[in-house]
Amino acid sequence: MSMLELREVDLFYGDAQALDGVSLDVASGEIVAIIGANGAGKSSLIRTIFGMEKPRRGSIRFEGQEIAGAAPHRICNLGIGQVAEGRQVFPNMTVRENLEMGAVVPRARAGAAAAMDRVFVMFPRLAERRRQLAGTLSGGEQQMLAIARCLMGQPRLVMLDEPSLGLAPVVVVEVFRVVRELNARDGLTLVLVEQNVAQSLALAHRGYVLENGRIVMQGAGAELLADDRVRQAYVGL
Ligand SMILES: Nc1ncnc2c1ncn2[C@@H]1O[C@H](COP(=O)(O)OP(=O)(O)O)[C@@H](O)[C@H]1O
Ligand SMILES: [Mg+2]
């Protein structure tokens, strides 16, 4: 059984259709990459799964339970986490306070202290800066904080929307290392939206190509990466 299963999902903004009959599966333990040009609907897809947009049609099941149209806090409490585009941290709160905000969801309250210990081991820079205001961190540190805050909710599925966008190359490497480690070591299931298409397909078990709100290709990460159409359109080789 898939951990996450979408069937024929349609999303509209007014009259404009952003998702058109999207069906996809994410199995437990997978990294699934979503690739596509700007405006293809990648963020809309993540926002719809997380309950921030309501689909007009279709089914979204997480561990067998229908979640289409449910509120984000309910979806979060079932074990889905997301890191939105653009490193959204609370700039006037400290690192520690930002992390505490990630654990307010009922499923995470009891284990919050242990979860904080774990994220501080994974992100030693955040541990060093735990008393610092998040707004004073570098871009890369803010992105790590956004990921760490998501992990504080103790999700089983994490969706990352362009986590490396606008970061320096050395930080991009770090973001990909974290994604790999969360999957390989912690067994976390991940949906990864990335404009670093070659790197994300190399890391992902499987991928989907989204064009104008539709899935136009799917396959193993390595298979998509070797595909001429994918290379010409998204890898620039
Ligand atoms: N809140 C919104 N209201 C209206 N249109 C939107 C909104 N968000 C995105 N769109 C439109 O939906 C389409 C898909 O956008 P988006 O999901 O952000 O694509 P991507 O993340 O792949 O760049 C685009 O045409 C975009 O302009
Ligand atoms: Mg986007």
Q: How far apart are CA 151 and CA 140, in angstroms?
A: 17
Residues in the chain: 237
pLDDT in tens, the chain (237 residues): 799 999 999 999 999 999 999 999 999 999 999 999 999 999 999 999 999 999 999 999 999 999 999 999 999 999 999 999 988 999 999 999 999 999 999 999 999 999 999 999 999 999 999 999 999 999 999 999 999 999 999 999 999 999 999 999 999 999 999 999 999 999 999 999 998 999 999 999 999 999 999 999 999 999 999 999 999 998 875
Rg of the chain taking only CA atoms, in angstroms? 17
Give the ligand whose atoms come closest to the C-alpha of residue 165.
Answer: 2
Q: How far apart are CA 31 and CA 208, in angstroms?
A: 11
Instruction: For each of the domains in the chain, give its residue range(s) and CATH number, in order of start.
Output: 1-79+157-164+176-237 (3.40.50.300), 87-155 (no CATH)
What's the one-letter identity of residue 56?
Answer: R
Model pLDDT, residue 43: 98
Model pLDDT, residue 237: 57
Q: How far apart are CA 49 and CA 23, in angstroms?
A: 12
Q: How far apart are CA 26 and CA 204, in angstroms?
A: 11
**Tokens 């396959």 map to which residue?**
219
Model pLDDT, residue 236: 75
Residues 6+ apart with CB under 8 A from 147: 83, 123, 160, 163, 175, 178
Residues with CB under 6 A from ligand 1: 13, 16, 18, 36, 38-44
Give the ligand whose atoms come closest to the C-alpha of residue 211.
Answer: 1
Q: How far apart are CA 155 and CA 158, in angstroms?
A: 6
CB 77 within 8 A of CB 97: no
Model pLDDT, residue 95: 98
Question: 3-class SS at 159?
Answer: strand
Nearest residue by C-alpha to atom 27 in ligand 1: 39
Choose one of 11, 13, 216 to mutate for the ligand 1 pocket test, by most ligand atoms within 8 angstroms of C-beta: 13
Nearest residue by C-alpha to atom 16 in ligand 1: 41
Q: How far apart are CA 173 and CA 199, in angstroms?
A: 9
Residues 6+ apart with CB under 8 A from 20: 10, 212, 213, 214
39 C-alpha to center of ligand 2: Å?
7
Task: Show the tokens assigned to 201.
Answer: 């397909």
Q: How far apart are CA 233 and CA 2, in angstroms?
A: 29
